[in-house]
Amino acid sequence: MKTSNRNELTESQAKVLKTINDFITENGYSPTAKEIAEILHITQTSVFEQLERLEKKRYITRQKGAARTIGILNTVVDEKPVKSESVKLVKVPVIGTIAAGAPIFADENMEGEILVDESNIGKGRFFALRVRGDSMINAGINNGDLVIIKRQPLAENGDIIAALIDNEATLKRLSLTNDEVFLLPENEKYSPINVTCREDFKILGKMVTTVTVL
């Protein structure tokens, strides 16, 4: 396997990558997000975020929707700290309960603001939604978490999106198949929502990351 320049990784990403590599070496198969979280004493949400970034940087591969499918593409050679990265914080408004008939971005729907590292979300217009319920737990999104949404009217198949249905904001995975549009939960207790012909369905944006509220 090829060794890449560690300057491409943050210290947290390097720790997660080493944990995966050590686990595979010892056990012969890859760890779950829960096992990584327990080893490093961090939240599963943080693990999912780091895995997403490691995959984008081509250090690992994953099979969506399946456990123990992490593959190592590149490894690190030591545990020397990565140089600190300059952090630029941006303000993201937090959307609260949506009032029937009122625009989602109306002032009365704003709970406040949070500061988010711009390197974690990129450029664009963003808002945060507070998660209610457990319909997305298999994607590492738990009750009480804040999800950061990039405002955009369109999304691709498989994206986790914030959508508006009957003036109610919901977070689900978008499924586009056979000319039908479904919103899929990440919890087997809940059923998919068919929004193909619903006039009250609107995409608010795509989820880019989560913030765990301790």
- Any idea which residues carry the catalytic annotation? 135, 172
Is residue 151 within 8 A of residue 127, CB to CB? The reply is: yes
CB neighbourhood size of 193 (10 A) = 17
Is residue 128 within 8 A of residue 211, CB to CB? The reply is: yes
Instruction: Report which secondary-structure segment, H or E, holds 165.
Output: strand 160-165
Is residue 73 within 8 A of residue 60, CB to CB? The reply is: yes
Instruction: Report which secondary-structure segment, H or E, holds 44.
Output: helix 44-56
- DSSP assignment of 66-133 equals -SS--EESEE-S--PPPPPPP--EEEEEEE-PPPTTS-TTSGGGEEEEEEEEHHHH-SS-EEEEE--S
- The token pair at 22 is 């050590």
CA distance 44 to 32: 10
Select from 174, 144, 113 the least CA-distant residue to 202: 174
